[in-house]
Amino acid sequence: MNKCYINGVASITAQPTTNGKFLEDIISYNDIIFKADNPNYKDFIKPSAMRRMSKSVKMGVTASKMAMEQARLEMPDAIITGTGMGCRQDSEKFLEKILYDDEQFLTPTLFIQSTHNTVGGQIALGLQCKGYNLTYVQSSASFESSLIDAQLMLTEDSNKKIVVGGIDEIAKTSSKFHILNGELKQQPIPNLELLQSKTTGTLLSEGATFMVLDGEKSTKNIAEIVDIEMIYTASIEETKKNIEDFIARQGLKIQDIDAVILGNNGDRQFDTYYQSLQTSIFTNTQQLYYKHLIGDYHVASAFGYWLTCNIFKHNNVPSIVKMNNLEVDEHKNILLYNQYRGENHSIALVRKC
Amino acid sequence: MAELVEELKVKIIDQLSLEDIEVSDIGNDDPLFGDGLALDSIDALELIVLLEKEYGIKLTDPKQGKEIFQSVQIMADYITEHRTK
Amino acid sequence: MSKGIAITGMGIISSVGATVEENLHSLKAATPGITRLANIETRHRDSIMVGEIKQTNAQLETQLGLEKENNLSRTSMLGIIAAKEALTQASINDIEAHRTGFISGTSVGGMDMTERYYDSYNESLEYIRYIETQHAGSTTGDIAKYLGIKGYVTTISTACSSAANAIMLGARMIKAGKLDRVIVGGTDGMSKFTINGFNTLMILSDEECTPFDEHRKGLNLGEAAAYIVLESDAIVANENKKVLGYVSGWANANDAYHQTASSSEGEGAYLAMKKALNVAKISPEQVDYVNAHGTATPNNDMSEGTAMTRIFGKETMPVFSSTKAFTGHTLAAAAAVEAVFSILSLQENIVFPNLNFKTPIADLSMTPQTTCLEKELDVILSNSFGFGGNCSTLIFTK
């Protein structure tokens, strides 16, 4: 497998994660659903281009520009995005107009935005990038699907510079449906106490995380994605074995993993996947988490890469993301594992450059 | 007529989310597409919906829009002649 | 010419047939599946023609033996039917015998259920099981579970080129040795959402669509699911598998021109065809037949025709046709439907006709094949384009 380096990473989340600081200021919420902490989009997007942009497009265009600035990249060879629901707000508005206005006076803009590849297409349009442009829609493995594609592309041609991102937004009505079907908490809880929750369901939020990937070694490299794997369904026991096998395939032992970033989302029923790892193979490994800060959504796991890169850059782990008390002098290998309701598992190894 | 022209400007700004544009920025005879407001084919479709919803004028061929949406004045003339509400 | 990735199975359900055999029969008989809408209530019923699969959801549920309390959307059910047929044809009994992946393209996913039950979710608990079908990828999950695929499963949603991109990704994964076997294609059920969406763009024809005709009025929406099975050379050799054809070229490029419309010079389409020919190591002269995207919208056919002229040259244009007048535009499934048709063309040595064509587009003077043509076919190029400037080309070889 060819090398896959991260040269830039930016994330817009419910926390102030675009201010250059590393989780120094934390916002606490007491809601089931909470919104992204918006950067000033006008700093990144011309007003004339902005008028038809929905939230996802604004977040995606802005985060991709931030990541490209960091990587000092002007024109990528490919743009690969992942999203669970795409421009959900406009899709919802269009659907409601169909249902409540008897299919009359519908306007095309809402429909056009409802297409899942809108953000990827808009980034390409803005950059005039005529290269490869793909969008994945695979629940909590949407972003990872993009990463696997990018990694494959670098294997085919290591010269490529690829923009990879994940975007999801909250919509007024349809997001709340997930309270009804039990995917979300039934009552608001303080987000920072997510892991103390004894109920099922999680908290929903939104955001965009973008990275610039490159097959070439250079001083721009922040980290290397050594390998990534997606597994659609697996039991708790199978998951443990999958992770052990994954680590072994990298020629590593569990002790070589300096920290593991887990996707615990406070859902009593499915956090057992993480807990069984925390109390077995990773007992002596530093354990980190982040969904109490940014909520859970289909591409929330992309934030794990932002966290990883910032740990490498700052050589420091903010205490707010720690689940146990183990200290590490210097992080070299960080393992990421995520799943959603026992499906769409992803395992990745990221190494410091 | 002057009233309709002003009303149209407000509605166009609203329908097309032209957030940074004021009514006073749009001249009655300014081209809406190309050099003027630089609207595009999606905007043309949005304006077709506006005609139907606000003035009861139903266009079936998007090509008709090219003639009608040349400027706010030409739009107003067309509406005056064809409106059903 | 590169050898390509072996295709060992295919399955399809469309408005011209519920199996590969039925589709082939309709294509050979030049019998289109374009009718008035029957299964969906909409005020546009009398103003559009569609490529609708006439089985109702209840009939599909029965056919698949689903439990009454299932939460499968039409998109999922159609997908299962087509994917099952593909696995059967590829003689795959043990799905876990090799590293098997599943890559599906869809645009609307479970939208048909969302639009049906959206209003009821707050009122009663009866249909809340359909809430998760809001996520388009849930349809892929439904199909994967039905087939028993547990490893690499993903969904591509790039509007009307989705299935082409799924086939491309599957071929690349096999080539890179990341998978041994992969089921690739797409599925999209008819929904009020897409009918109204395309209606706002004013590109739906009120008559049977007429691809590449000067007087074309727009597209007919269709619904379908189609999948093909790709397997590694090692499996083909070890298990002595029958190979139906090869996916030998693939590419995706972006037009970067407009959110929905294609550029007049067809830049994205041109780049996709050019790159796919490079991947396949095939020159334009070697292409025996082009299965065009040919949606019959004024914009697409003009833009695609221009791009084809740039690639092949006006005087040396290969035989081409759009099969959309048979099936309608089946959106995210279209490229998989046309992949199956292309493989059938290779097997049968028949170019399927471009129905309803009368007058060449004035500025292009390109005339598609309008009747079934028997011709030795070795190389077929198939185009699929979607919103967001998404342009994909696949090349199939014998």
pLDDT digits (tens, 9 = 90+) for C238-296: 999 999 999 999 999 999 998 888 999 999 999 999 999 999 999 999 999 999 999 99
pLDDT for C350-368, tens place per residue? 999 999 999 999 999 899 9
pLDDT at A298 over 70: yes
Distant-in-sequence, close-in-space partners of A21: CB < 8 Å, separation ≥ 6: none
What does the pLDDT average to over A243-250? Answer: 98
Which residues 58-87 of chain A have a CB within 8 Å of chain B?
A: none
State the helix-helix crossing angle for C74-89 and C137-147, rounded to 10 degrees. 40
> Which CA distances in Å does A166 have to A90, A117, A206, A311, C166?
18, 11, 10, 20, 19
What per-residue confidence (pLDDT) applies to C276? 98
**What value does the mean pLDDT of chain C take?**
97
Quote the CA–CA distance of A134 and B25 in Å, as a whole number.
Answer: 39
Reading the block at residue C223, the tokens are 């619904």
- pLDDT(A1) > 70: no
Quick one: three-class SS letters along A270-298?
CCHHHHHHHCCCCCCCEEEECHHHHCECC
State percent of chain A over pLDDT 70. 100
| Subunit contact C259:B45, Cβ cutoff 8 A | no
The Cα of A43 is separated from the nearest Cα of chain B by a number of Å equal to: 15
Q: At what angle do helices B41-55 and B72-82 cross, to 10 degrees?
A: 40
C166: which chain A residues are within 8 Å (Cβ-Cβ)?
Answer: none
Chain B: nearest CA to C202, how far in angstroms? Answer: 7
Q: Which residues fall within 8 angstroms of residue A328, CB to CB, at 6 or more apart?
A: A258, A259, A286, A317
Look up residue A238 and give its amino acid: E
Closest CA to C228 of C314, C341, C315: C341
Report CB contact under 8 Å: C200, B49.
yes
A289: left (phi over 0), alpha (psi -120 to 50) or beta: beta
DSSP-assigned letter for residue C178: S
Q: Round to whole Å and give the CA distance between C380 and C377.
A: 7
How many Cβ atoms are within 10 Å of A292's Cβ, its own excluded?
26
pLDDT the model gives residue C17:
98
Name chain A contacts of C153, Cβ cutoff 8 Å: 138, 230, 232, 344
| Contact assignment for B46 to A50 by CB distance below 8 Å | no
In angstroms, the CA A148 to CA C290 distance is 31
Residue B85 confidence (pLDDT):
84
A108 and B42 in contact by Cβ < 8 A? Answer: yes
Main-chain phi, psi angles of A318, to 5 degrees: -60, 140
Nearest CA to C198 out of C76, C296, C74 is that of C296
CB A8 within 8 A of CB A212: yes
Give me the torsion for CA of C257, C259, C264, C268, rounded to 10°.
Answer: 60
**Are residues A107 and B52, on separate chains, in Cβ contact within 8 Å?**
no
Closest listed residue to residue A225, CA positions, set A277, A276, A162:
A162
Put simply, the answer to whether B40 touches C200 (Cβ < 8 Å) is no
Q: Are A64 and A18 contacting, i.e. CB atoms less than 8 angstroms apart?
A: no
Q: Which residues of A touch C106 (CB under 8 A)?
A: 137
- A325 Cβ partners below 8 Å, 6+ apart? none
Q: Does C197 touch chain A (CB under 8 A)?
A: yes
pLDDT tens profile C316-345: 999 999 999 999 999 999 999 999 999 999
- Across the interface, of C128, C141, C200, the residue whose CB is closest to A106 is C200
C379: pLDDT strictly greater than 80: yes
How many C-beta atoms lie closer than 10 Å to residue A50's C-beta? 17
Contact C388 A103 (CB under 8 A): no
Give chain B positions within 8 Å (CB) of C260: 42
Which residues does C223 contact at the CB level (< 8 Å), separation at least 6?
C14, C15, C50, C51, C52, C53, C74, C78, C188, C189, C190, C328, C330, C333
The residue in chain C having the minimum alpha-carbon distance to the alpha carbon of residue A111 is C197
Q: CA of A53, closest CA in chain B: separation in Å?
A: 10
- Residue A170 CA, chain-centre distance (Å), reads 15
Nearest to C250, CA basis, from C81, C76, C83, C103: C103
Distance from C-alpha of C288 to C-alpha of C215, rounded to nearest angstrom: 27
Residue B65 has a pLDDT of 87
Mean pLDDT on A85-112:
95
Give the residue on C whose Cα is nearest the Cα of B61. C202
Indicate yes or no: CB of B42 within 8 angstroms of CB of C259.
yes
Nearest CA in chain B to C260: B42
Task: Report CB contact under 8 Å: C193, A95.
Answer: yes
pLDDT level of residue B66 (50, 70, 90 thresholds): confident
User: What pTM was estimated for this model as a whole?
Assistant: 0.97
Residue A20's nearest CA partner among A29, A7, A10, A8 is: A10
Confidence band of C98 (pLDDT split at 50, 70, 90): very high
Question: What is chain C's alpha carbon radius of gyration, rounded to the nearest angstrom?
Answer: 20
From the centroid of its chain, how far is CA A123?
Answer: 18
Q: What digits encode the pLDDT tens for the residues C184-220?
A: 999 999 999 999 999 999 999 999 999 999 999 999 9
Q: Which chains touch C (3 or more CB pairs under 8 A)?
A: A, B
Residue range A33-52, pLDDT digits in tens: 999 999 999 999 988 788 88
Instruction: Determine which helix (DSSP H) or strand (DSSP E) holds C79, and give its type and residue range.
Output: helix C74-89
At residue B61, does pLDDT exceed 90? no
Determine how many CB atoms are found less than 10 A away from the CB of residue A332: 13
Q: Do the chains contact at A156 and C140, CB–CB below 8 Å?
A: no
Tens digit of pLDDT for each residue in A162-206? Answer: 999 999 999 999 999 999 999 999 999 999 999 999 999 999 999
| CA contacts within 13 A on the Cβ side of A193 | 12
- At residue B36, does pLDDT exceed 80? no
Residue C235 has pLDDT above 80, yes or no: yes
Q: Using CA atoms, how far apart are residues A257 and A286, in angstroms rounded to an integer?
A: 9
Q: Which two tokens stand for residue C271?
A: 């780049």
Chain A partners (3+ C-beta pairs within 8 A)? B, C
Separation of alpha carbons C269 and A130, rounded Å: 10
Place of tokens 């109920």: A199
Tokens of B12: 């166009």
pLDDT tens, residue by residue, A315-347: 999 999 999 999 999 999 999 999 999 999 999
> What is the band of C151 on the pLDDT scale with cuts at 50, 70, 90?
very high
Measure B24 CA to nearest chain A CA, in Å: 17
Q: How far apart are CA B14 and CA B12, in angstroms?
A: 5
- pLDDT mean over C108-113: 94
N-term to C-term CA, chain C:
11
Per-residue pLDDT at A300 exceeds 80: yes
Q: Does B17 touch chain C (CB under 8 A)?
A: no
A326 near B CB under 8 A: no
C215 has a chain B CB within 8 A of its CB: no
**pLDDT tens-place string over residues A69-78:** 999 999 999 9
Which residue of C154, C161, C200, C252 to mutate against A (max A Cβ within 10 Å)?
A: C154
pLDDT value, residue B37: 79
**Kind plus residue range of the DSSP H or E element containing B55:** helix B41-55
User: What average pLDDT does chain A have?
Assistant: 97
With an 8 Å Cβ cutoff, is C169 touching chain A?
A: yes
ipTM (interface pTM): 0.97
Chains near B with 3+ CB pairs less than 8 A apart are A, C
Identify any residues that bridge with A164 across adjacent strands, giving them in sequence order: A80, A211
Whether residues C259 and B48 touch (CB distance < 8 A) is answered with no
Chain C closest-CA separation from residue B41 CA (Å): 8
Which residues is C222 bridged to in the sheet? Answer: C51
Between CA C191 and CA A41 the distance in angstroms is: 35
Chain B and chain C share a number of CB contacts under 8 A equal to 12
